Amino acid sequence: MEQLQMTRSTQLKTKPATDQLGFGRHFTDHMLLMDYSKGQGWHAPRIVPYGPLTLDPSAMVFHYGQEVFEGMKAYRTPQGEVVLFRPDMNLKRLNHSCERLSIPQVDEKALLDAIRQLIVLEKDWIPEGEGNSLYIRPFIIATEPGLGVRAAHDYLLLVILSPVGAYYSEGIHPVRIYVEDQYVRAVRGGTGEAKTSGNYASGIKAQEVAEGLGFSQVLWLDGVEHKYIEEVGSMNVFFKVNGEVITPALNGSILAGITRDSVIHMLKSWGVKVTERRISVEELYTAWQEGKLEEAFGTGTAAVISPIGFMKWEGHEMEINGGETGDYAKKLYDQLTGIQRGELDDPFSWRYVVR
């Protein structure tokens, strides 16, 4: 990749108060852009002041949704270093998503280095305070004008940064989940295992309905039989049944979460039996009836670990672990956030120091 060009903003923004960040509401002074054209490949990587884009109204992304994205976080350690968590995995997954959406592959190493330079420039935006971090959103859109349905020849890659608050301002607490039995998120052979906007667009309706009924997230079942558990909103999902931890196997319609992979490694290192397999909601309900469903939790970059205290499936209501955060969820949250923030040892070499 060519040398990165840098145009600095002449008017820096006022940073938001660290106790009022929320999620994705504020953006830093600069962003990273890179173009793709059929003749030149990926070219012209540049850091420029954050601001609106100019695109042709017929740009293909607006019509057929050819887009992929990623999400990761930068943290400040107690020693004052800036670290990312397994960013190589995010860039590998970005290319996997690109492959599925017929978007040209990016050079993972060069992109990570460009992101590193953007974070170095914006490091004062990494918010102080327990649980706060700088959210990193890389994404690629098809920019070629025209209404023909095919893979575009021109793309724009962007990376924007947003200081975000702790997901749980009062410590982790269990959420209420609605098992969705009407709408589906993805089917095998579809785009479920790609991180692409269309998967979210098709899920908004169900999320809205669930919220209206007093639930915070939807648990998706498989798109064919409406039987097997897939994932929760933008999180993978884990269940502790009779001492064993079970999570749906990556079957092509589930997103391969990096938090999911990390949690599996951690549980195994503690000697816990972890099984990746198909699990039906019926099986889960039976385990609950028999008193064997001991814990449920979601995993993802935003919340890290999200304990599930209550689930509703058709007419059945299940309170899990007395509606309280389970021991594994708590321990995983403490250890994983400790590793991510540089407060604990890094036995799996997951931290990447930005310097």
Binding footprint of ligand PLP on the chain (CB under 6 A): 71, 195, 231, 234-236, 255, 257-260, 299-301
Structure tokens at 283: 């099986």
Q: How far is the CB of 38 from ligand PLP (least distance, A)?
A: 29
Q: How far is the CB of 236 from ligand PLP (least distance, A)?
A: 5
As a whole number of angstroms, the distance between CA 101 and CA 95 comes to: 10
92 versus 226: smaller Cβ distance to ligand PLP? 92
71 versus 198: smaller Cβ distance to ligand PLP? 71
142 versus 304: smaller Cβ distance to ligand PLP? 304
| DSSP H or E stretch at residue 312 | strand 304-313
Q: How far is the CB of 110 from ligand PLP (least distance, A)?
A: 21
21 versus 91: smaller Cβ distance to ligand PLP? 91
Q: How far is the CB of 260 from ligand PLP (least distance, A)?
A: 6
Q: How far is the CB of 255 from ligand PLP (least distance, A)?
A: 4
163 versus 300: smaller Cβ distance to ligand PLP? 300
What residues have CB less than 8 Å from 189, skipping those under 6 apart? 252
301 versus 335: smaller Cβ distance to ligand PLP? 301
Q: How far is the CB of 258 from ligand PLP (least distance, A)?
A: 4
What residues have CB less than 8 Å from 302, skipping those under 6 apart? 23, 71, 135, 167, 234
What residues have CB less than 8 Å from 154, skipping those under 6 apart? 35, 36, 37, 38, 142, 143, 144
Block residue for tokens 């708590």 = 330
261 versus 283: smaller Cβ distance to ligand PLP? 261
Taking a C-beta distance cutoff of 8 angstroms, is the pair 195, 93 a contact?
A: yes
DSSP secondary-structure letter at 194? S
Beta-carbon neighbour count of residue 303 at 10 Å?
A: 22
As a whole number of angstroms, the distance between CA 291 and CA 308 comes to: 16
Structure tokens at 11: 């008017």
Instruction: Report the amino acid identity of residue 110.
Output: A
Q: Residue 275's beta-bridge partner residues?
A: 246
16 versus 24: smaller Cβ distance to ligand PLP? 24
Structure tokens at 61: 């992304």
Dihedrals phi, psi of 69, to nearest 5 degrees: -145, 170
As a whole number of angstroms, the distance between CA 230 and CA 192 comes to: 10
Q: How far is the CB of 257 from ligand PLP (least distance, A)?
A: 3
Taking a C-beta distance cutoff of 8 angstroms, is the pair 285, 313 a contact?
A: yes
Q: How far is the CB of 183 from ligand PLP (least distance, A)?
A: 14
